Chain A
Amino acid sequence: MTAQVLAPKERKVAQRRIALTGNHAVALAVKMCRPEVIAAYPITPQTPVVERLAEYVNNGELDAEYIPVESEHSAMSAVIGASAMGARTFTETASQGLGHMYENLPIAVGLRLPIVMGMAVRTYSAPINVWGDYSDVMSMRELGWIIYLTQTAQEAFDTVIQAYRVAEDSRVHLPVVVAYDGFWTSHVLQPLEVPEDEEEVMRFAPITRSWVKLDVDRPVSIGAVGTPEWYWEIRWQAVEALRGSIKVIEEVDEEFGKVFGRSYGLAVPYRLENAELAIVTYGSIFGLVKKAVDRLRAEGVRAGALRLRVIRPWPRDLLRKLLGHVDKVVVIDRAINHGGPLYGPMAVELEATLARPVYNVLATVGMRAIDTDMIYEGALKAYRGQWVPDEVYTIGLRGGP
């Protein structure tokens, strides 16, 4: 499953292979990162994460304050407060829960708090749909959070650990969200490599407490008013921190590879060398996309694929490098950019990045099932000119374009 990253790396840390669902893998990673305050409200499909964390705290495996808040708004408020006190924090949400905590999300950015949040992505109501697509996390793009989109339980586990290291780096000090597919990752049981010695995780990502925090020995007011003379400058610091975090994200990922044997990069290319067509997507469906690429290659189509992993900060230069030579870029988006210039959020951003039209395809909306054949057929339509760039196409929508 993570074939592209596992094999060749030399690893320093002894690990064992267990089997866990994505949710429980995330909970385990969080436990190993030893957050001091956890505040979360359960919502499908992340509920098993917060339940498992509550168990860890209850049975003494994790020494943390667990605040069973009455809503996501309170969850984000509580971790903002705790983080401002200097605590390592964790929360998790999805969909409507994210919507409910929304007003606090930009506050975490402006206060430069290294909060780590998990997200088992889920679409937005209505109609009520508890299943996975990326509508929720995509609505966070403008806020200044670092955003990781992961593919597997293993990657979600690894990325949570990386996230703490990145967030608390004194060059960054920004909140991070680690997203993974609701159900297709959160509830899928997969193999998972975990360190034999949990302390290895804390050695890799020790709590830095380097951020601006409330401290009785060094009093400070946090969250004061920012009049028009000051607001932009303070916000610009967060803009620059996010821009600069790309280097830290890469560094941390590389070092994680050296210690744990797995690294992912900002984006994950697949058979892109000499490709004339590339399928770009994100999340759990990348396994299917790779199979479709293999089939296209077998039939003589020079196809490749790319998985977006870090979308904030946007790895513009890398994407230009990886996709610059590719003639046809087919972007399979898993969230709808309602009424936008293109109907897929990542299609818009890739078009802006590559400065040329891309193929705009929507799939898995509301967790509509997809398989390799459907992806293969879509790619073929683009390859043969039945699809044209800049028009919206769908894979799996009955009667859809």
Chain B
Amino acid sequence: MRIETVWLGRGGQGIVTATYIIANAAILDGFYAMANPEFGAERRGAPVKAFLTISKEPFDDQEPVKTPDVVVVFDDKLIEPMRFAIDAAKPGGYVIVNTAKKPEEVKRLVGRNDVYLVVLDAIDIARRHVKLDVPNGPLAGAFAKVMGFPRLESIRQAFENQLGKAVEENFAATKEAYETAVVIPPERVDPTAKPRGIISTTSAFLTGPYELVGWAEVNKAGAVYPGTSLPYTTGGWRIDKPVIDHSKCIMCRKCWLYCPDDAVIEAWKEIEGPRGRKIRMKAIEFDYNYCKGCGICADVCPTGAIQMVREI
């Protein structure tokens, strides 16, 4: 038996820790396991990919996982950009998704009827138990539930070994996920079918957008000429999004002043005034392409006009 898994998420979500926890627990259970994360830009919010292989037999190859048995997606907004990974899952394998969305909706998003789909709201569980947006404990729990290993007790021990703190909180989150994750079995599995794609060995998709070109066409000396980060729509990193209630806003612009991402904007808005007159006025809006959902605007707003609302 050899189970190959790939974990996709964003920097800061605990992807690496999640694979370490599972690998550590699996090793405690007598398996051979290797968690080999791919380290990229080391930047919060940047896409991250980690491999985790578990086997009954000893192994020493760090083969990049190309057609995984299990794909774990930490953020439902990654389903679309990382569809190649979901397509690469072996028929009869597992796709585990962290989302607040309803299982049927996730099924539609994932678009595969030949894999087990596992749906859980790991953020909600993590927030309640660990008070942080780290969905790794719950995802470890969901993994253990569908795979039948590692044992929960080993996961607790792995938290002890890997984190050495907040063990009970994390373990409570793992356990809740273990008990509540929704599993939708495949409609049909053709065991002879091949996956629809493979995960490429380059990680360009994690740091893009750009085109990979041969050495002779790369900028000499790796020089970087003026460009723009406009295509890097960092809004994708959001877990919560700010939503404004204009009736409470007094246009003090504190949110605009404090937003670290320049994502609070003043937009002209047409409203209907007394006697049906159309009035143009300025109103606070958000540029959701770049708002990272940090919540600072909601924090500083003196009238409570901004609410943070779950998005994934």
Contacts and interface: CB of A to CB of B under 8 A. Distances in A.
Nearest to A109: B221
A230 B222 contact: yes
B226 A222 contact: no
Contacts of B225: 218-221
Given A233-B218, A237-B215, A227 B223 contact: no
Contact of B218 (A110, A219, A221, A234): A234
Contacts of B212: 229
A60 interface: no
How many interface residues does chain B have, given as a range?
20 to 34
B222 A224 contact: yes
Contacts of B222: 110-111, 222-224, 226, 230, 234
A44 B172 CA distance: 67
A87 to B, nearest CB: 16
A232 B41 CA distance: 17
The residue in A173, A219, A233 that gathers the most chain B C-beta atoms within 10 A of its C-beta is A233
Main secondary structure on B side of the interface with A: loop
A231 B219 CA distance: 11
A233 B214 CA distance: 7
Nearest to B226: A219
B233 interface: no
A400 interface: no
A222 B223 contact: yes
Interface stretch (B125-133, B201-209, B290-298): B201-209
B40 interface: yes
Interface residues of A, number: 25
Nearest to B216: A237
Contact of A212 (B40, B215, B221): B221
B224 interface: yes
Contacts of A236: 215
Interface in B31-60: 40-41
A127 interface: no
A237 B221 contact: yes
A214 to B, nearest CB: 10
A219 B213 CA distance: 23
Contacts of B213: 233
The residue in B40, B203, B215 that gathers the most chain A C-beta atoms within 10 A of its C-beta is B215
B275 interface: no
Contact of A229 (B203, B221, B223): B203
B188 interface: no
B213 to A, nearest CB: 8
Interface in A79-126: 110-112
Interface in B217-239: 218-226
A221 B212 CA distance: 19
A300 interface: no
Given A227-B40, A229-B204, A229-B207, A212 B220 contact: yes
A385 interface: no
B11 to A, nearest CB: 14
A338 to B, nearest CB: 31
The residue in B40, B216, B223, B224 that gathers the most chain A C-beta atoms within 10 A of its C-beta is B223
Contacts of A340: none
B202 A229 contact: yes
Given A227-B207, A229-B207, A237 B220 contact: yes
A301 B214 CA distance: 53
Contacts of A228: 203
Nearest to B220: A212
Contacts of A212: 220-221, 223
A82 to B, nearest CB: 16
A233 B215 contact: yes
A224 B207 CA distance: 14
A236 B213 CA distance: 13
Contacts of B219: 234
B81 to A, nearest CB: 17
Contacts of A211: 221
Contacts of B40: 227
Given A227-B41, A228-B203, A220 B223 contact: yes
A220 B224 contact: yes
Nearest to B38: A228
B124 to A, nearest CB: 34
Contacts of A225: 41
A219 B216 CA distance: 22
Nearest to B214: A233
Nearest to A211: B221
A111 B221 contact: yes
Contacts of B204: 229
Contacts of B216: 237
Interface in A195-222: 211-212, 218-222
Contacts of A226: 222
A112 B221 contact: yes
B74 to A, nearest CB: 21
Given A111-B221, A237-B216, 19 more contacts: A110-B221, A111-B222, A212-B221, A220-B223, A220-B224, A222-B221, A222-B223, A226-B222, A227-B207, A228-B203, A229-B202, A229-B207, A229-B212, A230-B222, A232-B215, A233-B218, A234-B215, A236-B215, A237-B215
Interface of B: 40-41, 202-204, 207, 212-216, 218-226
21 contacts: A110-B221, A110-B222, A212-B221, A218-B225, A219-B225, A220-B225, A220-B226, A221-B223, A223-B222, A227-B41, A227-B203, A227-B207, A228-B203, A229-B204, A230-B218, A233-B213, A233-B214, A234-B221, A237-B215, A237-B216, A237-B218
